[in-house]
Amino acid sequence: MATVAGTLAQPTHTGVWSWITTVDHKRIGVLYGVSGFSFFLWGGLLALLMRTQLAVPNGTVIESDRFSQLFTMHALTMIFLAIMPMGAGFFNYMIPLMIGARDVAFPRLNALSYWTFLGGASILSLSFFFEAPGGGWFNYAPLSERPYSDGSGIDFYVVGLLTLGLSSLMAALNFAVTIINLRAPGMTMMRMPVFVWMTFVISVLLILALPPLTVGLIQLLFDRQFGTHFFIATEGGDPLLWQHIFWVFGHPEVYILILPAMGIVSEVLPTFSRKPLFGYPAVVFSGIAIAVLSWVVWSHHMFTTGMGSVPRAVFAVNTMIIGVPTGIKVFNWLATLYGGSIRFTTAMYFAVAFIATFTIGGISGVMHASPPVDSQHQDTYFVVAHLHYVLFGGAIMGIFAGIYYWFPKMTGRFLSEALGRWHFWLLFIGMNMTFFPMHFLGIAGMPRRIYTYDDGLDWGFWNMFATIGSYVIAVSLLIFLVNFFRSVRQEPTAEANPWNAPTLEWGTSSPPPEHDFDAIYTVRARDPLWYDRDHGIAPPEVTGEHIHMPPPSYYPILIAIGITLLGVGALSHLAVSALGGVIAYYGVWGWALEPTD
């Protein structure tokens, strides 16, 4: 394929300016991925510091307030700056390719999402130079209110999350429209790859879940800056309202983090088992069911706040029901292995390990769906273990599967399989060493978010064990970095479809040309490339007609700078906000009048 690249090739842009002004979904995907991975390493470093402090009882490495900032920023970094953008990196790069399109529906909006993300991420991360937020990632009121958190940390939290929320909203709108409207001829909804489906579900979740968070953040901002009392009980407000609003967002958010990994695994397992995904409709509909149910379970994060028996019973039942579609997914993945001819590449190792580790997280999740049990689990290390099995054992494992799987497509080069094995096994062992003992610690009564603990509580051994595990994870990530940098320096050797995969992204050259496809595919089945291969259908003919691609634009980054300044102004001086508003408005004006054809 791409044999006639010479006639079709657009002038290739290079240099920093070309990256700043790019509206190419593949480049934006790379920007998202690289930023997300950098933040992943940064968040991991914060975790290592915490594990070092907790290795022995009465540790003296980090003092109390700094420790609070570490666990808050670790969570915020991992959730909003690492897992979500790494997911977004895959959406950006892969979705147009997988649905056989030439770009997303709104290329400039896509660039704007990225630059706004970077602005929000900078606000959040640079808080370390002033005062980082230290109220935990769900930042419960009234601890987050002025009387108890007087510094600027919580303001960084509010403004950072508002900016990041805006970025996510724009990206989600873009992908929802792209998936609904830009599918290749013949690609009905029920022929879309599962990864595309999951992206669609996530986009919908984001679009609907971010507004409640925005409202909560605005109310907190008003409380802190303008003296309202939304969450201050002594003045008539209610701290639990924050929890309700936050978890109305927060629970769908959890699925926003895990569903991309489920999508990736649903691509990797069939490719390397060399057979179609087992029960495609069941996998898709259980994904949708999980998304729908995620709206009626939020109060299970609040079982211990003194809600009445009936509400707790209702939310407990709803929560347990989520176990059903999740179980269906796991069984279908396992059935995909059955009867296959499995090729164990590194990507496949990660995908299979995902099934195992995610299942552990799923099981412990169903365990504390029971309010009496949760009264013992809540806010202990058992919950820490659970959420890390879901987010590390689930999301991160899935993302690594995706990296190894799509690396040849994105770069034209292969990651070393030998180093990949080392990376996988060390990560897998380190991950289980770190997080499995946390179940024991939770049952032994260790609360989360404590910077120190007494000797004699029997928590020392497993804490040391977990700390060693966290260093094993760190070593495995170093191996991955070596692997990555070695590979990108090699000559490109990957052909269009090195894994013999069934989906459309493998139907163009590796890496794809700027216009993605020389000719648009017509989709005839759920696994189009396999169908075409088995029925002797040749790739679509290249007609040589001119393919129009949107020109680069600097307005997205300009508007993003304006939006970021708006936020910075809220933290410093309103004049900065005003300047930001003017810049953003000027950017929108220029954007609207900029010719796109």
Positions marked active-site: 74, 103, 137, 167-168, 251, 253, 255, 266, 300-301, 326, 329, 448
Q: Cβ closer to another protein: 66 or 492?
A: 66
In contact, 178 and 516? CB cutoff 8 Å: no
For the bound state, the minimum distance from the C-beta of residue 485 to another protein, rounded and expressed in Å, comes to 26
Q: Cβ closer to another protein: 54 or 257?
A: 54
- DSSP of 110-154: HHHHHHHHHHHHHHHHHGGGS----STTTT-TTTTSTTT--SSHH
Could you give the C-alpha distances from 472 to 57, 182, 240, 424, in angstroms and in order? 21, 44, 39, 11
Residue 535: strand pairing partners: none
For the bound state, the minimum distance from the C-beta of residue 332 to another protein, rounded and expressed in Å, comes to 8
Q: Cβ closer to another protein: 457 or 478?
A: 457
Sign of the Cα pseudo-torsion (415, 421, 422, 424, in order): positive
Could you give the C-alpha distances from 364 to 299, 302, 565, in angstroms and in order? 17, 17, 43
Could you give the C-alpha distances from 448 to 385, 387, 538, in angstroms and in order? 10, 12, 58
Q: Is 23 left (phi over 0), alpha (psi -120 to 50) or beta?
A: alpha
Q: Cβ closer to another protein: 455 or 495?
A: 455
- Residue written as token pair 């940064």: 42
Q: Cβ closer to another protein: 332 or 564?
A: 332
Q: What residues contact residue 428 under an 8 Å CB cut-off, 6+ apart? A: 349, 353, 357
In contact, 513 and 520? CB cutoff 8 Å: no
Pick from 207, 22, 51, 8: nearest CA to 111: 22
Q: What residues contact residue 525 under an 8 Å CB cut-off, 6+ apart? A: 191, 531
Distance CA 542, CA 6 (A): 12
User: For residues 303-315, b (16+ Cβ closer than 10 Å) or e, as one string?
Assistant: beeebeeeebeeb
In contact, 91 and 139? CB cutoff 8 Å: no
- Residue written as token pair 């995909």: 336
For the bound state, the minimum distance from the C-beta of residue 490 to another protein, rounded and expressed in Å, comes to 26
Q: Cβ closer to another protein: 255 or 484?
A: 255
For the bound state, the minimum distance from the C-beta of residue 334 to another protein, rounded and expressed in Å, comes to 5
Q: Cβ closer to another protein: 134 or 260?
A: 134
Query: What kind and span of H or E run contains 343?
Result: none
C-alpha distance across the termini of the chain, in Å: 27
Neighbours of 417 (CB within 10 A): 15
For the bound state, the minimum distance from the C-beta of residue 94 to another protein, rounded and expressed in Å, comes to 16
For the bound state, the minimum distance from the C-beta of residue 100 to another protein, rounded and expressed in Å, comes to 7
For the bound state, the minimum distance from the C-beta of residue 402 to another protein, rounded and expressed in Å, comes to 19
For the bound state, the minimum distance from the C-beta of residue 210 to another protein, rounded and expressed in Å, comes to 7
Q: Cβ closer to another protein: 364 or 510?
A: 364
- DSSP of 146-187: TTT--SSHHHHHHHHHHHHHHHHHHHHHHHHHHHHH-PPTT-
Sign of the Cα pseudo-torsion (191, 194, 195, 196, in order): positive
In contact, 28 and 88? CB cutoff 8 Å: no
Q: What residues contact residue 44 under an 8 Å CB cut-off, 6+ apart? A: 473, 474, 477
For the bound state, the minimum distance from the C-beta of residue 7 to another protein, rounded and expressed in Å, comes to 14
For the bound state, the minimum distance from the C-beta of residue 85 to another protein, rounded and expressed in Å, comes to 20
Q: Cβ closer to another protein: 16 or 310?
A: 310
For the bound state, the minimum distance from the C-beta of residue 10 to another protein, rounded and expressed in Å, comes to 13
Distance CA 457, CA 536 (A): 68
Distance CA 424, CA 477 (A): 9
